[in-house]
Structure 1
Amino acid sequence: MDKTNQAANIQDDKTSPIPSDNMKSDYDAPPYSDMEFGGSFSEKAIRMAFIRKVYAILMAQLAITVAFICLFLFSEPVMKYTMEHTEMLIIAVVLSFVLIIAMSCCSNVRRTYPLNMICLFLFTIVESFMLGTIAGSYKVDEVLWAVGICAVICLGLTIFAFQTKYDFTMMGGMLFVTLLIFVIFGFLTIFLYNEVVRLIYACIGALIFSLYLVYDTQLLIGGNHKYTISPEEYIFAALNLYLDVINLFIYILQIIGSRN
């Protein structure tokens, strides 16, 4: 699932993090802020609990996704049935768009428990189903290589985001513009498709979502970074990281794999 729709619908959140005058209530406030944390938000314990909660949710999402990938890789009847019923993929794509728009644009959806967890769970199931169908068209060893490389890259970038003194949270606007150009280039590759173009496109995609992973991680950890994400937005933070990881995996898979 490409991150384009999320980036397009939360453009104002990433590029204009300061709330406007008509956004007074806590539920109408954007998830990002460039103000220093005060009161309870300034406490390190709250921020650390927030980080642990987000990564716990992310690990559960990735576990579900890995289970779906294994199901499609090692169960030929499941893969065959899915290919014969393409309406399932169409429904999955529609549900994916609806859920991501709802969670990205409606603060009451992503902040109201248990509605937020239900929506995130459904989105994870839909995305895992689509990712399973993609992985099923590759060889098992290619998928395993992609998983291993993606895991190493994500771990390395996460450690880098926690340790580096460079502030990537100011790159939101630039990353969105880059992603928009990348999507337009993707439409052009439909008409100019060949192996070289596919490889270049996959490499650029992997680079973009690697940067997004660092960007979203620094929004999560807060600290001395200019922009941070509110601890109330644990669903939004987990959603961002999950999209970064699965998109990075898809492009790595395209780089090292060849279609069956």
Structure 2
Amino acid sequence: MDVEVSEPIDFSSGDHQHLVRKASDSYPGGKTARSYGTAPSTEGPQQAHGNPHSKAGKRADTYVVQISPETTTDDVSPGTFSETAVRRAFIVKVFFLLSIQLLITGAIISLFVFWDALRSWVIKHPWFNYSLLPAFFVVFIILACCGKLRRQVPANYILLGLFTVLQGLLLGTVSVFYNAEEVLWATGATALVTLSLSLFALQTKWDFTLLNGTLFVLLFVLIIYGILLIFIRSYWLHLLYAGLGTVLFSLYLVMDVQLMVGGRHHHSNLDPEEYVFAALNIYMDIINLFLFILQLIGMGR
């Protein structure tokens, strides 16, 4: 019996199981004997019943199965983050959004630092800083918690742009209490640390994504420590706080970069549509790193 398959067979869909059942049913030693696609018999029913081991029965069963080389595991689940092209496009989007965020933030901070009239106005009107906080936290909570909205275009870009502007304004109101030279030194140090840690995260074999839970606990402790420093006026405790914050967000930066690039790391199952969330995480790491480095430089003057 000859079975010839002229169309490609996808073994992942179970088509081969139909061929196996077909072959077992047509085998002469089986319980049933069926003919699939064979020519009609011209010798009559007597020869078929009288000699079950005829020449047609002795003929070797031939199965021709054509497997298409295009059927791969990637065709089953296209668009996953494990694919190189998808991951590369994701990384490009994240770094593009991050670059725009940092440029906007730097421009806003420059206005507060180098515009003397604006600097004096912000110092005389502290309510401006406190009025920005509610809007900042509302947009931040929406971006962090509303995953569906975070993936919708252009709502995700609008929210990210609004968040970046609010963050820049808050950093500007903080920068007015420092000299322009100190802000520039902090900016340069932050850029150098960010570049170094990013290259380290891309090259190292250590998996910092495993420290996600540990870093969250340390962040919670640091927040409690910062609240206590509001009531404790101590130079060395504030210096220690700034140093611990710099180390903590340096580790966070390495972990978030490894989460973004994916690959061999343990926790790297980001959705390719979460480029806004990835850019937001790395942006917040850089901003917090800048604030703690600015405190270190300001306390060292």
2:187 to 142, 147, 166: 147
Instruction: Report which of the two structures shows the higher radius of gyration computed on alpha carbons.
Output: 2
Normalised TM-score (structure 1): 0.83
Moved more, 52-61 or 41-50: 41-50
CA distance in 2, matches of 1:237, 1:134: 25
- The amino acid that maps onto 2:220 is L
Does 2:104 match 1:64?
yes
1:157-172 equivalences in 2 (<5 Å): 157-172=197-212
Post-superposition shift, 1:198? Answer: 1.1
Post-superposition shift, 1:258? Answer: 4.2
- The amino acid that maps onto 2:89 is A
Post-superposition shift, 1:81? Answer: 2.1
CA distance in 2, matches of 1:153, 1:259: 19
Can you list the C-alpha shifts for 1:2-22, whole angstroms capped at 9, x where unaligned? xxxxxxxxxxxxxxxxxxxxx
Post-superposition shift, 1:149? Answer: 0.8
Alignment correspondent of 1:240 = 281
Moved more, 84-93 or 44-53: 84-93
Moved more, 226-235 or 199-208: 226-235
Q: Does the Cα contact within 8 Å between 1:150 and 1:248 map onto a contact in 2? A: yes
Does 2:120 match 1:80?
yes
Can you list the C-alpha shifts for 1:193-239, whole angstroms capped at 9, x where unaligned? 22111111000000110000001101100001111222110110010
Query: Percent identity of the aligned residues?
Result: 45
| Structure of greater relative contact order (alpha carbons < 8 Å, 6+ residues apart) | 1
Does 2:292 match 1:251?
yes
CA distance in 2, matches of 1:259, 1:154: 21
Alignment correspondent of 2:244 = 204
1:92-171 equivalences in 2 (<5 Å): 92-171=132-211
- The amino acid that maps onto 1:248 is L
Q: How many residues align?
A: 224
Post-superposition shift, 1:190? Answer: 1.6
State the secondary structure of the residue aligned to 2:245.
Answer: helix
- The amino acid that maps onto 2:296 is I
- The amino acid that maps onto 1:40 is G
CA distance in 2, matches of 1:68, 1:204: 27
- The amino acid that maps onto 1:165 is K
Normalised TM-score (structure 2): 0.72
Post-superposition shift, 1:123? Answer: 0.5
Post-superposition shift, 1:136? Answer: 1.6
Alignment correspondent of 1:8 = none
2:253 to 213, 233, 239: 213
Post-superposition shift, 1:189? Answer: 1.2
CA distance in 2, matches of 1:122, 1:259: 34
Post-superposition shift, 1:83? Answer: 2.9
Alignment correspondent of 1:10 = none
CA RMSD of aligned residues (A): 1.6
State the secondary structure of the residue aligned to 1:225.
Answer: coil
CA distance in 2, matches of 1:207, 1:157: 11
